[in-house]
Chain A
Amino acid sequence: MPDINLLLAGLFLPLFPFSMVFNALFNRVKHVVLRCFLLIGWPHIGLAIIHSTDTNVPTWIITWALVTSLFYAFRMLTLRDVGQWNSFLATSVWAMLWLTTSDMNLSMHHIYTFGVTAPLVLLALLSAGLEKRFGAAYTDLYGGLALSIPRFAGVLVVVILAAIATPLFPGFFIMLKLILDTSVTMPVATVVLLTIWLLWSWAGVRLLQGLIVGPASQGDADDFNLISCWSYVITLVVLMLSGVYLSGFLL
């Protein structure tokens, strides 16, 4: 019975091929608010199921989770749709959370999950912003955002950096925690985690380059007004501070 519950949790802390359900659902849902709710709520259901089973997660599931995370990080490399990129990164990040299930209580686990998911929520909002301005959130389609809508591009850059676990954001400290936990007992897992981190960076940079680089796109796209810009900046600063705060418990 616990194994069935764990498999059910594999739908929400996605394990391939169950992960395809979340990705199909995320692509089907077009409304930005629903997408944000999906991102915020989905992994927490999985966590609740895991903690309700009250059993240790077997090694084969940990291995499965790592492979899933690596698989989606690898597949992210060629994605051009920002929304799809976001859902693949979410899959890759959440699959990793299986590694932390043994030594955390549920409330801390929820906080960490929220920490790594928050940049993805911001990216979903920005993705919707791109669709509103250009009709699609797609790389190499218009480009040149750094010149045409510089404030938006600046925020987009920082949000993507936060999503790929750049230092001071929560993702960075959680990656460190995972690497710390596996370094001696499962060195192969550490190498896989480091590879996943590298693939995220690669995919993130490809996404950025396809959006911000190039001559300014034609047409009158509105940039962020000051209020929107500062809202994002404050959110990112809070996220960064929460990353530093979380590090106190992690490291």
Chain B
Amino acid sequence: MMSKLILLIILLPVLSALLMHLLEGKLGRCVARISVAAILLSALFSGVLLWLSLSGHLIGQSISISPWTILYFDSLSILMALVISLISLIVHIYSLRYMAEESGYARFFVLLDLMTASLLLMVAAGDMISLIIAWHFVGVFLYFLLGQDTRNPTAYRYAFWSLITYRIGDLPLVFAAVLLFQAYGTWSLPIIFEQLNQAPNAHSVFGLPLPEVIGILLALAAFARSAQFLLHTWLPYTMDGPTPVSALMHAGIVNAGGFLINRFAPIFANTSDVLQWVFIVGFISAIIGSVLMLVQNDIKKSLGYSTMGQMGFMIMECGIGAFSLAIYHLIAHGVFKGTLFLSAGSVIHSARKNDGVPQDELYTFVVEKRPAITRKPWLLMAAFTLSVPLVVLILSHSFVSEDYFQKQGAIVLLFFGWITGAQLIFATYRTHAQNLWRLVFISILSFTIVIIGYIFISHAFNVYLYPDTALREKLIAAASIDKIRFDILVALITLTIVIGWLVAYYTERNRNGKHPKYTGRLWTMFYALITREFYLTDLYSLLSRTILSSANKLNVWLRWN
């Protein structure tokens, strides 16, 4: 019974796609309701599985159809299946009317169903081959979904960027799969993890321990999927696709990197340096994504860079060993980013109808980038900023775990909580409100709720997703760095925040004065750099043109034979 339920969750969208294709001629646009019904059932069944799992009736159920077709439903896949089917259901319902005027209506739903099935297979894959197949199909279906409007070459141009980046990410995953097979003689993930757990250092490849090499390859695959720095350029540009696809992509598909790292947690737990590199890449992506988001004047592109920043944060969480927190993050991000994308259309639509833009301080600050005229007292806001980590540390120490201070990952995370808090308080500081204290109170309260929620929920996720305490501790240990490097990192972050406040103070003092010549030039150069997105897209375009031109020259030289 349970096996049938598990199979149905994945098969229903496939059956629906098939039925829609066959019945499109007879049912017309009503055919899309089949798709909604199928996804609704998938979501319901996933919900039932989650309930069974939470109540302890379902623990790591796996169905083996062939040596490379194994479905594995553990806590992670059950939770992810519910998230994917729910987000997909919302996107399906939204698309019923949103896509009504578009050509290829039925094709769109067929592709949406196949994409959902691929994502569900990806999270439920209990073997490497199924995972590779699902991983590959997600890229292919995303390409066609982004190119839903076949008259639009621009949409296809950017859909191609996403496809080729995804293909680049597929390759390390394939390499990792074959190396694991060579070492353990099986494609089955539960068996591989079990053997690895028994003898972590039993195998080596290219002179390195196997988990280290596999960890690097998996991290590369995750980086491509989750738009990490240098592999991110496709994400902000794929906005010519339909809005529901953007919502699904930002809410569900880009999160796959975080899922992949979580799926292979037993491997990452046995690495020594990989998670530190994962942290660094996530950190750079979070910073660059956030900076680039600030200079965008297109709402969807801005959301694209925001996603890149959030994905950086998610990957960074994996890098500090907070794997379950990354899952919580990807779910929370999926929900809010999906909502933002689905409402972006109506915002644009109402803005077109009514050009009376809100002339309040928040609008002029956020959209027109004009600083507010009045400011809150600098010292008060700085004091709030400095008190944030203290409050967070005391709360986490009291309510979560007494040895919280001893965990490096937790400290780093708290520092990033501090940065986020500082960012929020900066924003509050720079805006103007009629009721100053109300605004400050709301900001502090919301921030505290977020942080407390984060700590409590991450704790709950940890217990549910990683009930094995030994594995949790191994992950934290694998992510740890030596004390000197850790202290330097903490000092750097502190310094950054303090310098940030000093710059704010300096700017406040010289608000009406002119900047010195050299800082003005530096600022202009920096602004040019970020508005050109660090020239990365230009560089990739140049590289691509050079490759194509070389291929063409070779063909001419060899007379096309």
Contacts and interface: CB of A to CB of B under 8 A. Distances in A.
A179 interface: yes
B561 A27 contact: yes
B187 A251 contact: yes
A214 interface: yes
Contacts of B552: 78
A121 interface: no
B548 A77 contact: yes
A23 interface: yes
Contacts of A84: 560
- List of 6 A-B pairs having minimum Cβ-Cβ separation, nearest first: A146-B150, A20-B561, A167-B133, A194-B171, A78-B552, A183-B178
Contacts of B167: 197-198, 201-202
Interface string B240-264: 0000000000000000000000000
B153 A166 contact: no
Interface of B: 66-68, 103-104, 129, 132-133, 136-137, 140, 143-144, 147, 150-153, 156-157, 160, 163-164, 167-168, 171, 174-175, 178-179, 181-182, 187, 205-206, 547-548, 551-552, 554-555, 558, 560-561
A205 B554 CA distance: 20
B168 A198 contact: yes
A74 B551 contact: yes
Nearest to B143: A205
A137 interface: no
Size bin of chain A's contact surface: 35 or more
Contacts of A108: none
Contacts of A75: 551, 554-555, 558
Interface centre among B178, B555, B558 (most CB of A within 10 A): B178
Contact of A251 (B129, B151, B164, B561): B129
B555 A79 contact: yes
A227 interface: no
Contacts of B178: 176, 179-180, 183, 190
Interface in A75-91: 75-79, 84
A167 B181 CA distance: 18
A20 to B, nearest CB: 4
A161 interface: yes
A213 B158 CA distance: 13
A171 B547 CA distance: 25
A23 B205 contact: no
B66 A248 contact: yes
Contacts of A161: 140
B174 A176 contact: yes
A185 B147 CA distance: 41
A195 to B, nearest CB: 8
A78 B555 contact: yes
B262 to A, nearest CB: 23
A78 B560 CA distance: 11
A197 B164 CA distance: 11
A213 B147 contact: yes
Given A176-B129, A184-B205, A201-B164, A214 B153 contact: yes
A215 B150 CA distance: 8
